[in-house]
Amino acid sequence: MSLLVQKLPAGATPGKKRLDLDDEATGTDAPVHKRPCLDPPAGLTPCLQPLPVSPPPSNQDPQVSQIGPYILLEAPAAGRCSRAINRHTGREYTCKVYAAKSYAEMMAPYGVVPAHPNIARPAEVIVGDQNIYIFFQPAQDDMHNYVRRRRRLPEPEAAALFRQMAGAVAHCHQHGVVLRDLKLRKFIFTDGERSKLLLENLEDSCVLSGPDDSLQDKHGCPAYVGPEILSSKPSYSGKAADVWSLGVTLYTMLVGCYPFQDTKPVSLFGKIRRARFAVPEALSPKARCLIRCLLRRDPAERLTAGEILLHPWLAAGGSPEGSWGVPSGDQEPVQVVPEAEDWRAVEDKEEEAEEAEGLYG
């Protein structure tokens, strides 16, 4: 069995070394990637091509999942994500596992997006016959869990965090990458104070072939998708769809629930198509303005990711006088977040029931 390795230290040209690797410790059931494997893009730099390494030792403990210098603390076949320890340094990493044939597709966005302080980059990539193992620096927490615990965030804190999120998205858009699956969970904290955010990875992103950002596939978390993705139109603006997702993210951070709520998925998607939502008056005028500039039904009327960074609410660092502070109570929002299967299952029914109302315009 042949295995490949690539070292990707931050801010430096990737070094390459020979390692003894064990690709069989994780079993034969390799995770299936969401999208079909693509041919290696023309712009993939030579440093992203891994080198062959020596075969693994035959006397390794079958109970230990070891990949090169890393010991996996959870079975990667159980999810696609595992905690890992570098046995040489003792440092902990997060390991993402994919089918080996998707190596070029998974690494392509990192080949075109330069380093950014709010975008995580792989620390190392190990490719086996069946699986690809991408190691990232570990997270302290993610925004989804943080907002859920806090219920909602005061405006100054939300502004400081949202500025980092918008900056990461703007950087990707500037270099021709659409993220497509933006949500709170995609942003992770790297410090215990919960002040430094990183976009966890560029998984599910799409590298554009030119200035046209039109996409045809309907992709993303149902709670964060825009009206154009739920419509019957064959294509939509990928960058504008990312901005809508940022709008949902900001609303949830400030209000404590999703902007579109209903106990029935069909009704929920109808509200998203209409882009009808209420912004609490307790928020400052500048915060309400930014939310409405992002959650516009017409994608052409939304701010770009770069324009978000120039909005007065971010320039002012949030408005303390408009903040609710720390909320009390244990009530859960009534928002229903359907699984992807539910989203696609109700789409045909919605088209029949609502097309006459002009919801696809």
The span from the CA of 290 to the CA of 163, in Å, is 12
Give the alpha-carbon dihedral of 105, 111, 114, 120, to 10 degrees: 40
Nearest to 313 by CA among 281, 290, 344, 333: 290
Question: From the CA atom positions of the chain, what is the Rg in Å?
Answer: 22
Residue 265: HSE in the Cβ half-sphere, 13 Å Cα cutoff = 17
Give the alpha-carbon dihedral of 286, 289, 294, 300, to 10 degrees: -130
Which residues pair with residue 119 across a beta bridge? Answer: 199
Q: Which two tokens stand for residue 28?
A: 């034969």
281 CB contacts (<8 Å, ≥6 apart)? Answer: 288
Over the range 92-116, which residues count as b (16 or more CB within 10 Å of their CB) and which as e? ebbbbbbbbebbbbbbbbbebbeeb
Is there a contact between 238 and 350 (Cβ–Cβ < 8 Å)? no
Nearest to 162 by CA among 140, 195, 137, 116: 195
Q: In the annotation, is 181 catalytic?
A: yes
Give the alpha-carbon dihedral of 9, 128, 204, 110, to 10 degrees: 30
Is there a contact between 61 and 48 (Cβ–Cβ < 8 Å)? no
Q: Pick the catalytic residue: 22, 23, 142, 181?
A: 181
317 CB contacts (<8 Å, ≥6 apart)? Answer: 156, 159, 160
Residues forming the active site: 181
